[in-house]
Structure 1
Amino acid sequence: MTDHLPTDEVAPAVVRAVDVASSSQDGRAGPPADWNPRGPRVRRDAVAAYDEMRSRCPVARGPDGTWTLFSHADVVRTAMDPVSFSNAVSRHLQIPNGLDGTTHTAYRAVVDRYFTPERMADLEPAIHDVARRLVEGLDVPGPIDAVHLGARFAVQAQSTWLGWPAELEPHLLRWVHDNQAATRSREPSRTAEVAERFTAIVRSLTDARREAGEDGPADVTAELVRDRVDGRPLTDEEIVSILRNWTGGDLGSMALCAGVVLTYLADHHDLQARVRSGVSDHELDAVLDEILRIDDPFVANRRVTTRAVTLGGRQVLAGEQVVLNWTAANRDPQTFGDPDEFDPVTHASDNLVWGTGAHVCPGRPLATMELRALTRAVLDATTAIGPDLCRPRERALPPSGGFTVAPLLLR
């Protein structure tokens, strides 16, 4: 649902970039790779590997010629320079995150209308009801997988917001799982299949609302079908792209966020007790942002250079792909000191969990509200959240972050 998060369209664009980035302008082979972003070291412990790369080689060339930026300064510089670093990195239409300049501005204005403070305030009671009902169905005391809980909540919350029927839940949960697996596979045929499946779901809903006209439901999906950009109606392709960005990006991301946040609270009893004792929404949001900074599940976004640039003393040619590693940037000791130190107030201004620059996440108000609602519901229904020592946690494999399995015990 955001400019900031990876979607099912990542893998095809990476494949496309290989031909551009693996050679120099005179046709000769480029320099040797500095690292392998999907190699065994990264697969064993991605966060530690990113930390090591930031200290050893903060601008690193991968085996496909793609450059990865690990330092906070380089990531911010790139995100804040849309002239030198274009977002048009995918072969697919991506609204608004794959657009640049005035075109991005026009579509971003459309998207931003759905996340105003007034609209979020109106939606918040319904989202809290979704979280409360879901948590009431859990066995307390008993075990949970925080990632699976987050995925179920994300589907139900998004369906409530968009006006989608409850019977879609198993199909969307399956799609989240298949989409993550396809992205990891880097196989264009798999990513294309899951993208087509999502398009079919969306079009069945938008077609029904278009056919119903004024007799149809008055929900966000129907509103989007009637919306306009630059004075003209949105096309079907544009509507699908926006809904893919909102829903495709958010469902998996909310599951990852829930896994990271609930696991961190389970491991840090003093912080859990502090939140349980009563904090304002503003204070809780700061806590959530800082937890996600320390273990950022939103690993990276891509740009492509429009001209030759120098980053970290290294020459990057025009047309080469650059990856902004948010996870590494959010743990840069040059900005945050000890990256594992929990200090939400001091670190807030430099926190990049939701991105920065023109493409900062437009859906941050909704995503934060959802995560706050789920966290409060779990804490309200329990006296303690602890690690499940009988079941191992499983970290997500690149290019994802966070956990794929996060077992916890509710008491």
Structure 2
Amino acid sequence: MSTHNDWDPRAPEVLANPIHAYDAMRKRCPVAHSDAMHHSVFQHADVMRILLDPETFSNRTAGCASVPHGMDPPEHTPYRRLIEPYFSPARMAAFRPECERICAELTARLPRDGELEIMFDFAHPFSLSMQCAFLGWPEELHAPLLDWIHKKNLALLSGEAEAVAAVATEFDGTILRLLDARRTAGPDAPDDATTRLMHETVEGRPIADDAIVSILRNWTVGELGTIASSVGIIAHYLAERPRLQERLRANPDLVRAANDEILRMHAPLIANRRTLTRNARIGDKNLSVGERVTLMWASANRDEAVFGDPDEFRLDRDPGLNLLYGVGVHACPGAPLARLELEAVVRALLAATREIAPVADASPIPSVYPAGGYREARLRIRR
């Protein structure tokens, strides 16, 4: 197993400008070893090959499998089949009015002419409201969950494994209390996604609580983190491009495709891991069973070999090449919900404003791996 480090993903210059650093690595060393991230894979073709070969590149990277993301077929298949209907076209159509209502309420609170910190003044409250509405969780959870996000960010910044584990345990406790409350309510429990999930079966057997917690954790952490990051990235990108703002205000049907293209260039989630089940060659590296690879979404979606100038905003790209929501058996099942929410919030934000602009001398603060986007970004709003 290789012990030579090709780069340091925690170096200050990498953390200060991750996208620039990943672009450089894609050209200099497309499969790069480091102690922190094992073998990082930067090129689109290599990442796509890994995604389409789950037999060689396993999603099971931890001792306790995350349901279903940390499972491989065939164990993964029945759970995936169970989850997909929650994001069906019919469910998305039913949720759209509530989604648009939440967006209208949040944009109505924007300053008439002033500054806001887009992440905690808007993006995180948006993702919290959406997640609680989709899962049927009470509004009184908004404040505790927002506090939990603060704790999670501090734990990630600390780099201490014990702190990160403690935050995760706290979140699981919140979910278990929600499940207990529904069991206590019996037939009076709300008819929502959480209650329905509790009554699902897999191959004729009820789902164990630890699996329910794992599914809800995956849905919720993805929503609270990645969706909030996406809102911040899109808002900041548009703030720097007034002509694109005007184009989307005049043509709101373009918003969904524009969101995907912006998030191709600026990934809300930096990377994901796989473990080799057999020897394989990736790029110029021979890797062995048990070694780990890190799929660098934030690099693969900017690969010049596929996208030309990665910073050129284009709405005519082949959507099948955009790895924003993954590819293959582990493609994000919640992509329809994410696209619905992001389209609704960006449409509402543009409709409620005349101008969104950056704040002079207030550079955004990048998030910490594995999150993309910003921890903090200040914008000026004119309505």
Q: Deviations over 1:246-280 (max 9, x none)?
A: 00121011111011001111111111111100332
Q: CA deviation at 1:137?
A: 1.5
SS across alignment from 1:324: strand
Number of the residue aligned with 2:377: 406
Matched residue of 2:40: which SS?
A: strand
Paired position in structure 2 for 1:156? 129
Shift of the 251–302 alpha-carbon distance from structure 1 to 2, 3 Å rule, reads same
Whichever residue aligns with residue 187 of structure 1, its letter is E
Q: What residue number does 1:33 align with? A: 5
CA deviation vs aligned residue, 1:329-356 (integer Å, no higher than 9, x gap): 0110000000001112224221111111
Q: Who is 2:96 aligned against? A: 124
In 1, the alpha carbon distance for the partners of 2:37 and 2:66 equals: 23
Query: What is the aligned partner in structure 2 of residue 114 from structure 1?
Result: 86
Preserved CA contact (<8 Å) 1:184 1:399? no
Q: Which residue of structure 2 lines up, in the alignment, with residue 170 of structure 1? A: 143
Tell me the equivalent position of 1:384. Answer: 355
Output the CA distance in 2 between the equivalents of 1:77 and 1:212: 48
Say which SS state the counterpart of residue 74 (structure 2) adopts: helix
Give the partner amino acid of 1:167. E
Cα RMSD after superposing both structures: 1.3
Aligned to 1:258: 231
Does the 8 Å contact 1:326/1:353 carry over to 2? yes
Corresponding residue to 1:352 among 323, 334, 340: 323
Alignment of 1:3-402 (within 5 A): 24=1, 30-64=2-36, 66-148=38-120, 149-280=122-253, 283-402=254-373
Instruction: Give the paired residue count.
Output: 381
- What's the CA shift for 1:31? 3.5
Equivalent residues of 2:132, 2:138 under 8 A apart:
yes
- Residue type at the aligned position of 1:318: V
- In the alignment, the residues of structure 2 paired with residue 50 and residue 380 of structure 1 have an alpha-carbon distance, to the nearest angstrom, of 35
In 2: Cα distance, 1:353 partner to 1:239 partner: 26
Secondary structure (helix, strand or coil) at the match of 1:373 reads: helix
On the 8 A contact 2:255/2:347 being kept in 1, the answer is: no
Is the 1:290–1:347 Cα contact (8 Å) retained in structure 2? Answer: no
Q: Which moved more, 1:384-393 or 1:162-171?
A: 384-393
Partner AA of 2:296 in structure 1: N
The secondary structure found in structure 2 opposite 1:193 is helix
- Aligned counterparts of 2:20 and 2:48: Cα–Cα separation in 1: 21
For the residue of structure 2 that corresponds to 1:101, the secondary structure is coil
Separation (CA, whole Å) in 1 of partners of 2:166 and 2:16:
29
Letter of the structure 1 residue corresponding to residue 220 of structure 2: T
Moved more, 88-97 or 254-263: 88-97
Q: Deviations over 1:212-257 (max 9, x none)?
A: 1212111111111111111111111011000000001210111110
Residues in 2 aligned to 1:88 and 1:176: alpha-carbon distance in whole angstroms: 26
The residue identity in structure 2 corresponding to 1:179 is K
- 1:96 CA displacement: 1.1
Moved runs in structure 1, 4+ residues, more than 4 A?
none
Q: Give unmatched runs, 5+ long, in structure 2.
A: none
**How far apart, in 2, do the equivalents of 1:73 and 1:44 lie?**
27
Residue 166 of structure 2: SS of its match in structure 1?
helix
Asked if the contact 2:9/2:37 (under 8 Å) is kept, the reply is no
C-alpha distance in 2, partners of 1:183/1:73?
Answer: 30
Q: What amino acid maps onto 1:35 in structure 2?
A: W
Sort the Cα spacing of 1:215 and 1:294 in 2 relative to 1 into closer, same or farther, 3 A.
same
For the 8 Å contact 2:252–2:347, the answer to whether it is kept is no
**Could you tell me the percent identity over the aligned residues?**
41
**Alpha-carbon distance, 1:399 to partner:** 2.8
Quick one: which amino acid aligns to residue 191 of structure 2? A
Q: Which amino acid aligns with 1:368?
A: R
Q: CA deviation at 1:55?
A: 0.1
| 1:134 shift after superposition | 1.2
- Cα distance, 1:380 vs. partner? 1.4
2:75 aligned counterpart, secondary structure: helix
CA distance in 1 between counterparts of 2:353 and 2:37 reads: 49
